[in-house]
Structure 1
Amino acid sequence: MSEAPRTPDQQAFEENANRIRGHFSYFGRNANFQIDRMAPGEAWTRLPYQPVFVGYVDTGVLHGGIVTTLLDETCGIAVQLALEGLTPIATLDLRIDYQRPSTPGKELCAHAHCYSVTRSIAFVRATAYHEGEDAPVATATGCFMINANRSDKSTADVSAYKETVLLDAPEDETGTFANSPFSRCLGIRPVAPNTVMMPFSKRIIGNIYLPAIHGGLIGAFLETAAIYRMRQDMDVANLPRPIGLTINYLRSGRAVDSYASVSIVKHGRRIVAFEAKAWQDDPARPIASAYGHFMVRQSPQPEND
């Protein structure tokens, strides 16, 4: 029996899907992000487990920042699958709600659905999970700008990004992030009171044509800065666990060093609310800001004699 002929819409979608399949971000290629399935406005991806993506070596749980990065990437693919042909897009905002810690050793899957598109904005929601979406590790909602930049791909020099780079976590037994492989992978380190830096390196690039830092990694940077601030200034008995993070992207993260600082908005016995901003050349011109909550447990107070 012969196959039913494809409709023009089906053929156009398949052509677009084939183009998108080979257009992961540069970090996505380095991290071995994989597309499992595509449909109009929808994408299913997965990230094989790697120790370098761990937040804390004593738990083996993935860093919240790599979860954010997978969700951001999958959302972008879903938006592309809702448009006609490859279109320049950029994340405007992304809200991540962490439902439960990831399971050590298991690959992480994601499903994103672009459910509404206007002339300028695409709206998308996504879930990260292990076995099924009914037991999410994290959920996300976001907005993307359509035709965000008009860089000429034909003239962009992308020769430096033709080969992938190894994602590793250099050993640093006495450093601030000695127990956080993913933070060390990104090179994050404190440079002043309440200021941390993420040095530029090829591995953090998302868009190779600008080039620009991956939006998910900017989120990872802000989350790590918040963890650093809490552990430096507060007497907590356990590692801060992210509950939710809302990131606003204000301008592209260029291929230069980035800095971040954090303000504690409210410190309760179990919940800490914070605000963070990231900048490059000028603190008055942030590239992104974030607001979020962490769960903490206060250290027990010594009893009076």
Structure 2
Amino acid sequence: MDDTTKDGAVMSMPCVEEVCDQQGKLHRGAIATLLDTACGLAIFVRLGDMRPIATIDLRVDFIAKPEAGEGVACNVTCFAVEENIAYVRGEAFGRDGGNLLASVSGSFAIGTAGPSFDQSVNPSNKIAPSKKKTIDDEGIISFETERVTALSTVVGDVSPYEKFLGMTASDDNGEATYKMPFREQHIGNPLIKTFHGGIIASFAELVAGAHLTANQTEQNKPVCSSMTLDYLRPAFAGTLVAKPNIIREGKRFIVVVVDVFLDGAQVSRGRFIYKRAFASS
């Protein structure tokens, strides 16, 4: 955290390899995670103390990309607190040129509670295997044979940020599964120790992008212009499983919905709007 205001927080993120895309620019998922973190800190500043909070919904609009090697700074304000719900808004800028990169708005529940983090982790600090039937037992996504091949190509060309998250994709007889196992770096609020809301958003956006790439023939990859996440319940330690679905393909925009599950229970739904990337003439 760089600074605080009366009811907000200023944070920044340097451009290091772990949070970059293939072009050496800060990954949009990393920017969303920074904004989500700043939202939480802005709420703590307004409340005057640290209480358990959880993201209810988060919207990030991506306006421009940072330059290669450029860090990002953001300023987020908690502008209202009403009946244990805090409301936030803010913007992210390039640290070098000062260009507006993204805007954020969202709401957070105050005073959330959940089971102890240690109940989900065994003594060797590894994730305890779930005894529940998870959604991937039934096969998440069906692809045609050529699209499974395309998915394998996408997964092989991962960004440093995808490696940092630990996202995996696999196919078995034409069925694809996207997963992200829990890591210590994924913790959000240390008071309740769940997956960080921004990390879940990043995972869902990467799944949406991979699913799009595997299901299209365009040479240029679509660009995510907006993401909206609804958080349905806390995501404690375990392996997240994602199910994407393209719900609209227009001439200029594509809309993808991604449902995220933990132990068979849905923890989040994301809606991602992609601009078609037309080849320059």
TM above 0.5, yes or no, is yes
User: Which deviations, in whole Å up to 9, do the C-alpha atoms of 1:160-205 show, x marking residues without a partner?
Assistant: 99xxxxxxxxxxx977153411111111111343431011222212
Q: Does 1:181 align with 2:160?
A: yes
Counterpart selection for 1:215 from 180, 183, 197? 197
Q: What value does the CA root-mean-square deviation take over the aligned residues?
A: 2.8
Structure-2 separation of matches of 1:177 and 1:79: 39
Establish whether residue 258 from structure 1 lines up as the match of residue 222 from structure 2. no
Distance 1:194 1:261, change over 3 A: farther
Q: Could you say if the C-alpha distance between residues 177 and 120 of structure 1 is closer, same or farther in structure 2, counting changes exceeding 3 Å?
A: farther
TM-score norm. by structure 2 comes to 0.81
- Matches of 2:6 and 2:194 in 1, distance apart? 27
Change in Cα spacing, 1:177 to 1:221, as seen in structure 2 (3 Å) is farther
CA gap of 1:95–1:160, structure 2 versus 1, over 3 A, is: farther
> 1:46 — aligned with what?
12
Partner of 1:295: 275
* Overall identity of the aligned pairs, in %: 27
Larger strand percent = 2
Which residue of the partner structure matches residue 100 of structure 1?
A: 64
* Alpha-carbon distance between aligned partners in 1 of 2:68 and 2:45, rounded to the nearest angstrom: 31
Higher-Rg member (1/2): 1
Contact 1:48 1:106 in 2 (8 A): yes
Q: What corresponds to 1:125 in structure 2?
A: 89
Deviations 1:29-74 (A, max 9, x none): xxxxxx111122110010111012112x2x2222111011000000
Q: Is the 8 A contact 1:194 1:261 kept in 2?
A: no
Tell me if the contact between 2:58 and 2:107 (Cα under 8 Å) persists in the aligned partners: yes
- Pick from 165, 173, 188: which aligns with 1:206? 188
Query: 2:132 is matched with which residue?
Result: none
Are 1:286 and 2:259 an aligned pair? no
User: Secondary structure of the equivalent of 2:263?
Assistant: coil
Amino acid in the other structure paired with 1:142: G
Relative distance call for 1:241 and 1:262 in structure 2 (3 A) is same
The AA in structure 2 aligned to 1:185 is F
1:91 & 1:190 partners in 2: Cα distance? 26
TM-score by length of 1: 0.75
Q: Distance in 1 between matches of 2:31 and 2:178?
A: 21
User: Helix, strand or coil for the counterpart of 1:45?
Assistant: strand
Q: How many residues align?
A: 249
Residues 44-193 of structure 1: matches in 2 within 5 Å? 44-55=10-21, 57=22, 59-131=23-95, 135-149=99-113, 176-192=155-171, 193=175
Deviations, residues 72-116 of structure 1 (Å, cap 9, x unaligned): 000100011110322111111000000001111111101000011
Q: Structure 1 residues 96, 250: CA separation in 2 closer, same or farther (over 3 Å shift)?
A: same
- Distance in 1, matches of 2:154 and 2:181, equals 16
Report the AA paired with residue 219 of structure 1.
Answer: A
Alpha-carbon distance in structure 2 between the residues aligned to 1:258 and 1:70:
21
Where 2:207 maps in the other structure, the secondary structure is helix
- Higher deviation after alignment, 210-219 or 191-200: 191-200
Unaligned runs of 5+ in 2: 126-151
The aligned counterpart of 1:9 is none
**Any conservation in 1 of the 2:201–2:229 contact (CA below 8 Å)?**
yes
CA contact (8 A) 2:66 2:101 kept: yes
Moved over 4 A (4+): 131-134, 150-153
Match for residue 235 of structure 1?
Answer: 217
2:250 is equivalent to residue 268 of structure 1? yes
Does structure 2 conserve the Cα–Cα contact (< 8 Å) formed by 1:195 and 1:259? yes
Pair 1:249 & 2:249 matched? no
Q: Which segments of 5 or more consecutive residues in structure 1 lack a partner in the other structure?
A: 1-34, 162-172, 301-305
